[in-house]
């Protein structure tokens, strides 16, 4: 079994580096959460309480078994032709768009090493731009990576983003630097649910120019804090508070 990579962080003054205790461990690609993806059955399959629909053969009913995904890429692949690629603008049923778009998008927008992790501080660890780094308004800053888990009505993690009708991306145990983005009521990035190369992704985009050694922050939203049972501790207000008006990641307006 390959050794899992640990995160390293600077102190708040960027003088010394140290290893962050595991978990979390580093990911460069999303991965399936082992043991949570099992074969499921749709109504009408043998063993189901609901009958096979009229006109449906036993063979077609057996084909309704949903197999557990074997790869993260298979689970994240778009089903249907209505999704438009952020990189090439083609729709997901067009042959011209594919894995190459995703790889090229990552090379062009997400390959540079621009971010430090620092902490612990008042909000734990955080993500900061490196000295001398300026991120322009509108730039794509990072992709949220984590373990892919089935959607749950009662999630037990505070590191989840949900891709509707697909899965949850959970970075509690494994992820990339984006898992360290803290909440702030005056955010400088925003998460979007996007499609790149026929693949569902969650991307962070700069809302304004972000200067050197500035913390990367987004607004988790009031619902997040209500569900988690604690308040936002950012310095936008003097006391711990509940944010207003922000929502979890949705598709960006085209």
In a domain, 15, yes or no: no
Q: Are residues 86 and 51 in the same domain?
A: no
238: its two tokens: 């003097």
> Which of 57-61, 109-113, 134-138: highest mean pLDDT?
134-138
Q: What is the pLDDT of residue 175?
A: 97
48 lies in which domain range?
Answer: 39-68
- Is 60 exceeded by the pLDDT of residue 128? yes
Q: Are residues 107 and 230 in the same domain?
A: yes
pLDDT digits (tens, 9 = 90+) for 7-25: 999 999 999 999 999 889 9
Q: Are residues 135 and 81 in the same domain?
A: yes
Percent of the chain's residues with pLDDT above 90: 71
- Is 80 exceeded by the pLDDT of residue 4? no
Mean per-residue pLDDT, 77-101: 95
- Is 90 exceeded by the pLDDT of residue 51? no
Q: Are residues 57 and 77 in the same domain?
A: no
In a domain, 192, yes or no: yes
For residues 227 and 190, which has the higher predicted lDDT (pLDDT)? 190
152: pLDDT confidence band, cut at 50, 70 and 90? confident
Q: Are residues 115 and 215 in the same domain?
A: yes
- Number of structural domains in the chain: 2
Q: Are residues 135 and 62 in the same domain?
A: no
Q: Are residues 138 and 64 in the same domain?
A: no
């Amino acid at each position: 079994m390959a050794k899992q990579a640990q995160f390293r962080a600077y102190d708040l003054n960027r003088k010394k580096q140290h290893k962050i205790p595991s978990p979390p461990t580093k990911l460069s690609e999303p991965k399936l959460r082992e043991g949570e993806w099992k074969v499921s059955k749709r109504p009408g399959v043998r063993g189901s309480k609901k009958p096979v629909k009229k006109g449906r053969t036993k063979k077609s009913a057996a084909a309704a078994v949903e197999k557990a995904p074997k790869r993260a890429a298979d689970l994240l692949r778009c089903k249907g032709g209505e999704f438009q690629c952020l990189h090439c603008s083609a729709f997901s049923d067009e042959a011209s768009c594919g894995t190459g778009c995703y790889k090229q998008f990552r090379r062009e927008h997400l390959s540079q090493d621009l971010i430090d992790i620092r902490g612990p501080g008042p909000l734990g660890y955080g993500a900061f731009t490196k000295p001398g780094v300026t991120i322009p308004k509108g730039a794509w800053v990072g992709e949220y990576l984590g373990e892919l888990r089935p959607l749950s009505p009662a999630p037990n993690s505070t590191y989840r983003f949900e891709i509707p009708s697909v899965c949850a991306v959970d970075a509690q145990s494994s992820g990339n630097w984006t898992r360290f983005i803290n909440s702030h009521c005056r955010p400088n990035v925003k998460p979007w649910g996007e499609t790149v190369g026929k693949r569902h992704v969650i991307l962070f985009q700069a809302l304004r120019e972000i200067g050197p050694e500035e913390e990367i922050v987004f607004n988790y939203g009031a619902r997040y804090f209500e569900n988690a049972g604690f308040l936002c501790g950012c310095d936008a207000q003097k006391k711990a508070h509940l944010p207003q008006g922000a929502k979890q990641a949705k598709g960006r307006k085209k």
